[in-house]
Structure 1
Amino acid sequence: MNVNTETISIILLILPLWQFITCHPLNSESSSGPRPVVFMHGLTANAAKSDQLFTWIQEDFPGIKTYALKLFEDMKSVADLSFQVALLSQELKNYVTQIDAKEITLIGHSQGGLIGRFLVEKLNSDGLIHTFISLAAPQSGQYGAGTFGETVQGVLALMLGIERAESLMKNLNGSTGFLDTICSDKITIDIKITGMDNSIKLDHSSAMLSLCSYWRNPMTWGQTSSSNEKASLLRIMSNDVADPDQTIKDNFVKLKKLVLVGGPHDGMINPWQSTQFGYFPNGNMESVLPMRETNWYKNDNFGLKTLDERGAIFMCEYMINHTVVPRDRTTYEQCIRPYLNIKEAYMEVVVQLPRKNFGFEDETQSIVMFLTTMVQIMAFFLVLMIIKAYKTGKRPIKFRRTSFVY
């Protein structure tokens, strides 16, 4: 069989490029479709808040599996956050086992985003949660009233009655003063949280309200207890305690992508930068430290700095109100959809990051693979030159010292 130079050239050129493409992680993962998506609702919300979001996701990715965690809906969501995380962990594990998923994308809105982070720190020892998208969640805590104060008043009215709730608010200087008081255990109010179906009944002291788990007064935070027994859940899960838990960090850094979604017009989370791990400095409410200037980041308490240096943190801003974030089409298209599909997420990385790692999770692997491909292509051109030389009857390449001439 007579194989001409052009045929050989095409084969030699295609082989290294084919090797690069077929060894590319994006190619192999995308063939099995995007990962299942799990959603966690926020305070006083429920699983139905994910309906519109799931509709868009299923339209864009036919056949994708979606699931909304259904425990602690509506008024049950004010229950102690530690208790919620324990039961939600089991619900998530049961679902993952049922569908036999190796990896998932976890999305949490508002308080659900904080719960989502705690689920990562608790369950991600085997890298189950590939991508975590935090939607308008107070990751560094919450302090101040605004619409959050209105939510607090509404919760109290349902639990204690309107008159008693209004009396407490008035005597304790509004919702901020109220939460400052009850979350520091200065007073105790016995409350009963009863689900609509009466399936869950919890008796709590006021300091065990879910809101108290992330209520963070910057004027007193530096003086609050860092002992593991008395610290708030936010402090414990951020490893900002006397005896930090290495497992929390080990699990958190197994995330492949952390997407932090927040915006200056949120109206609920204060400061809004808490959605992206920024916060007031201790003893000061006049300014807000961005994530990279906070002690949690600098000390790499639970792995923020590690993820950031690996290029695994992505920040996205919206210009809408807090409560409509999961139902906003623009937020979905810009801040959620690119991280659900492997190929689109890869394209987003290339656009946003100065360090292009060609989609490989390991940057060294990416560089080695790229250089190998380039060497193969150079070898192709060298072979092509030799073939042409012999075909035209010209003398082959001769090497002279450190260079060669033709």
Structure 2
Amino acid sequence: GKGSITVKQKIWRHSVGNGRPGRNRGPIGYIVAKDCHWRMLRGLIIFRYVMAITMAIEQSAESVSAHRPIVVLHGFGSSSDQMNPIVESLRSAFPSTYVIALTCLDNGKTVFSIDLQVELLAQELRNDPRLNTARGVDFVGHSLGGLIGRIYVHRYNSPRIHRFISIHSPQAGLHDIVRIEKYLVATAERRFPIERVFGVGWDTMAWRAASGALTAVLGDQASTTILNQFQSHSALTHQYLHQRVPVLNDLLATSAFFQGFDHLDPATRARQRKNVEGLTLLCLVKGDDDEVLSPSNTAHLNSAHDPTSLFVQFGYKTLLDSGRLIFANHLVGHSSNELMNNPNSIWESELVPYLNDFE
């Protein structure tokens, strides 16, 4: 009829505010969409602002307190698992720090040549994105692991090692391996108590255990050869180890400062010196009761204070004069177990604090 309102008019009146003056705000759909848009935009702006502040605070805190990763490398005849007490000790001291026992020399690879072991170390550091960063790492090397780490510094040091602790390491080579032979046998005897199984005497049992310790690396045939040859005495042991364990040859054949490994190419001397002098700290630790290293002073580089030695030419004197080279010693034996459990050990009191560097 004349006074009736069509459906279209009802919709329009509802949309514009029932037709009352001052209430014409446009279609409701437009108002709702516009309001939602501004609410979302305002929320996004606030979110981004809060996140920017949070990230700035976190980055600032990280730059002040975050610790570089710490890597631990085991020695001859050992494994990454046996470094767990050291790793756990460091994790306890530095709870927010990434600490890892390197696995590059596991499965008997410590019998390989020093050259090859250094390459394996370099590969693991480069291939782990948590270690291969501009921040670099701090390094703890036990026994042979300390020597491998030092030569890595000379040759590459990329990723960079900043703080370096070398514990009971043959840094200047060995005069002989008689102590190592005895240590291998004693270690094998503890790990492979087979006397009860085979019913053999101590000598045979010891050599059988030693062969078992080396079988994984040298193979079953070599192990059988050991059993056949080592029934009587260690003269053949000495000869066999020389022939079949490259790292022992390396340790015996090189000069007092490892010219054969650190300094093959005189053209690289400047770079090597720069790498060494780039260390924030180098701590060389000697065990005064070390039953393996001969001489035990190899842990201190032997000729460390000789002004005419390569010690000077390759930057170690610079470290010493600037207080960044530390010679430490304690009344303990060679093993990592001695390091962690002997009451005379300076591990917790002196060595761990050397790694307390939040740069």
TM-score under structure 2 normalisation? 0.64
2:226 is the alignment partner of 1:164:
yes
Counterpart CA distance in 2 for 1:30 and 1:260 is: 29
Cα deviation code 1:356-392 (max 9, x no counterpart)? xxxxx9xxxxxxxxxxxxxxxxxxxxxxxxxxxxxxx
User: Which residue of 2 is the match for residue 121 of structure 1?
Assistant: 154
Asked if the contact 2:109–2:117 (Cα under 8 Å) also holds between the matched residues in 1, the reply is no
Deviation, 1:301, is 3.5
Pair 99,124 (structure 1): closer, same or farther in 2 beyond 3 Å: closer
Deviation, 1:235, is 2.1
- Candidates 259, 274, 279, aligned match of 2:298: 274
Deviation, 1:84, is 1.9
Counterpart CA distance in 2 for 1:91 and 1:242 is: 25
SS at match of 2:346: helix
**Bigger Rg, which one:** 2
Give the AA of the match of 2:97: I
SS at match of 1:161: helix
2:104 is the alignment partner of 1:104:
no
Asked if the contact 1:124–1:254 (Cα under 8 Å) also holds between the matched residues in 2, the reply is no
SS at match of 1:321: coil
- Candidates 123, 147, 157, aligned match of 2:179: 147
Counterpart CA distance in 2 for 1:170 and 1:244 is: 50
Counterpart CA distance in 2 for 1:77 and 1:342 is: 30
User: Which residue of 2 is the match for residue 253 of structure 1?
Assistant: 277
Give the AA of the match of 1:212: N
Pair 157,90 (structure 1): closer, same or farther in 2 beyond 3 Å: closer
Deviation, 1:94, is 2.1
Deviation, 1:59, is 1.6
Pair 316,169 (structure 1): closer, same or farther in 2 beyond 3 Å: farther
TM-score under structure 1 normalisation? 0.57
Deviation, 1:142, is 1.1
- Candidates 236, 245, 253, aligned match of 2:260: 236
**162-171 vs 91-100, which moves further:** 162-171
Asked if the contact 1:106–1:131 (Cα under 8 Å) also holds between the matched residues in 2, the reply is yes
- Candidates 29, 33, 37, aligned match of 2:66: 33
Asked if the contact 1:39–1:69 (Cα under 8 Å) also holds between the matched residues in 2, the reply is yes
Cα deviation code 1:337-359 (max 9, x no counterpart)? 1111138xxxxxxxxxxxxxxxx
2:81 is the alignment partner of 1:44:
no
User: Which residue of 2 is the match for residue 58 of structure 1?
Assistant: 91
**244-253 vs 42-51, which moves further:** 244-253
2:252 is the alignment partner of 1:215:
yes
- Candidates 281, 302, 305, aligned match of 2:314: 302
Deviation, 1:86, is 1.1
2:357 is the alignment partner of 1:333:
no
Pair 295,75 (structure 1): closer, same or farther in 2 beyond 3 Å: farther
User: Which residue of 1 is the match for residue 332 of structure 2?
Assistant: 320
Counterpart CA distance in 1 for 2:297 and 2:284 is: 10
Deviation, 1:244, is 5.7
Counterpart CA distance in 1 for 2:287 and 2:93 is: 25
SS at match of 1:305: helix
Counterpart CA distance in 2 for 1:93 and 1:244 is: 25
Asked if the contact 1:41–1:110 (Cα under 8 Å) also holds between the matched residues in 2, the reply is yes
Counterpart CA distance in 2 for 1:256 and 1:29 is: 20
Deviation, 1:107, is 0.7
Pair 238,64 (structure 1): closer, same or farther in 2 beyond 3 Å: same
Deviation, 1:116, is 0.8
Deviation, 1:39, is 0.6
Pair 59,263 (structure 1): closer, same or farther in 2 beyond 3 Å: same
Asked if the contact 1:81–1:210 (Cα under 8 Å) also holds between the matched residues in 2, the reply is yes
Counterpart CA distance in 2 for 1:242 and 1:100 is: 28
SS at match of 2:84: helix
Asked if the contact 2:87–2:101 (Cα under 8 Å) also holds between the matched residues in 1, the reply is no
Aligned residues: 266
Asked if the contact 2:179–2:294 (Cα under 8 Å) also holds between the matched residues in 1, the reply is no
Counterpart CA distance in 1 for 2:232 and 2:308 is: 36
Counterpart CA distance in 1 for 2:235 and 2:225 is: 16
Q: What is the percentage of aligned positions where both structures have the same residue?
A: 25
Unaligned runs of 5+ in 2: 1-59, 186-209
Give the AA of the match of 2:229: S
Map 1:182-201 → 2, pairs under 5 A: 182=242, 189=243
SS at match of 2:293: coil
User: Which residue of 2 is the match for residue 284 of structure 1?
Assistant: none
Give the AA of the match of 1:38: V
Cα-Cα RMSD: 3.4
Give the AA of the match of 1:215: L
- Candidates 162, 166, 171, aligned match of 1:130: 162
